[in-house]
Structure 1
Amino acid sequence: MIMASYNHQHEFHLFNKVDEQKLYNSARNIEVAAWLLAQRKDNNNQALILSDSVAGEQRNISYQRIIGKMIATQDNLAKVVSRQRGRVIKAVVLQVASMAFLPI
């Protein structure tokens, strides 16, 4: 799911494109997966996967911290990619405007 948001690429170069909507959707999917891990129960009302801690133990939120970092990374990359397109347009306009002047 996360690799699909990067078009299944392992390396990125200057002209590689990433879709910000895929990154955003991936972050939301991670949130859903985290919720499902915490909420799913079997027929005996036991957690299918222990994502926090066993009853009676001190609460272990290390999984939540890791998942939160993954969500934040996807969200931040989505914001950067969406802003990058505006920067490219701005850079082209500035280059065209500066070409009106002769070099000294």
Structure 2
Amino acid sequence: MYLSFRDLVARLPRALPVRAGWLLLALLALTGGCARHQDHQAFVGNKSPVKPSEFFQTHSDRLATIAMRNNLNSLYQLLDKLYRRNPREWRKTGLPSIEAAEKRVQMGIEKDQPLASLGGRKDVAALSYALSNEFQGDRVGAFIYAVGSMLITAHGGSTEFYLTDSLNAQFINNAARNIEKATWMLTSRRDLQGNPWLLSNEISADARNLSFAVEFGKIVARLDLLSDVLDERYRRIGVNYAQGLLFLNFLPVQ
């Protein structure tokens, strides 16, 4: 649920001391109502500057924000690795360089702009199409865009999270399982000549490269951890409420 600046001000307790009230108002003004999307540089740089809006984040909100930042950063690293191992894919875009092709996919994910080759499809629908025999476009860009779009959809359409947000642990867990399935499909499917759709991991007498599996594994691990944290948070809310009823605890007054 998104609250406007006016709504947040209206919810301020009437009994707040004047100074505390003005402090909160100043923080609200600085946050501009709490943007729901991180800056592009946070994703590619894998770090974020301290912002006043963090005042409105719980520990789990901050964890979700950092996990999203790191997951998209991992996806962008995989995008670059896959393009370099499969240069024919980025050349299908008609763009002048690999950097331009990467930027197109990144902006598509962050601005919620489906790639033209996906016919307007997003998240799970885009992932299914990108991994189908019918798809003939840039499979690397389509695959990474689809995974990124799915991640953001599973997190309620946001990349930055605050007190007023409610994340669904089951959707995040489902996203982790989808990535496991998708990466297996990507590495196992082959064309009519028996060649893999995309070159990624390599285990041979001459080389051993598992960096793709490692990076995808990091994304899955972060999603699983966040899912567990969210489950525990909501479970503890219920347990604490039940304990209060069971022991008839009075609320502290000082």
Superposed pair shares fold, TM > 0.5 = yes
Segments of 5+ residues of structure 2 without an aligned counterpart are 1-149
One of 222, 228, 243 as aligned partner of 1:73: 222
SS state of the match for residue 35, structure 1? Answer: helix
**Identity rate of aligned residues, in percent?**
28
CA contact (8 A) 1:37 1:50 kept: no
The TM-score, its normalising length taken from structure 1, stands at 0.84
Alignment match, 1:62: 211
- What is the CA distance between 1:28 and its match in structure 2? 0.4
C-alpha distance in 2 between matches for 1:57 and 1:3 = 38
After the TM superposition, which residues 8-87 of structure 1 pair with which residues of structure 2 at under 5 Å, given as runs?
8-53=157-202, 57-87=206-236
1:25-81, CA deviations, whole angstroms, 9 ceiling, x for partnerless residues?
000000011101110100110011012138664121000000000111111111111
- Say if 2:158 is the partner of 1:6: no
**3-state SS in 2 of match to 1:24:** helix
Q: CA RMSD of the aligned region, Å?
A: 2.3
Note closer, same or farther for the CA distance 1:28–1:66 as it changes in structure 2 (3 Å cut): same
Alpha-carbon shift at residue 89 of structure 1 (Å): 3.0
Q: Which has the higher helix share?
A: 2
Of 12-21 and 23-32, the range deviating more from structure 2: 12-21
* 8 A contact 1:24–1:75 mirrored in 2: yes
2:249 match: 97
The residue type equivalent to 1:79 in the other structure is D
* Aligned amino acid, residue 159 of structure 2: H
In structure 1, distance between residues paired with 2:201 and 2:223: 22
Count of aligned pairs: 102
Return 5+ residue gaps in structure 1 as ranges: none
SS of the aligned residue for 2:184 comes to helix
Q: What's the TM-score once normalised by structure 2's chain length?
A: 0.37
Tell me which moved more, 47-56 or 82-91. Answer: 47-56
CA contact (8 A) 1:40 1:47 kept: yes
Higher RCO structure (Cα 8 Å, ≥6 apart): 1
Residue 97 of structure 1 aligns to a residue whose secondary structure is coil
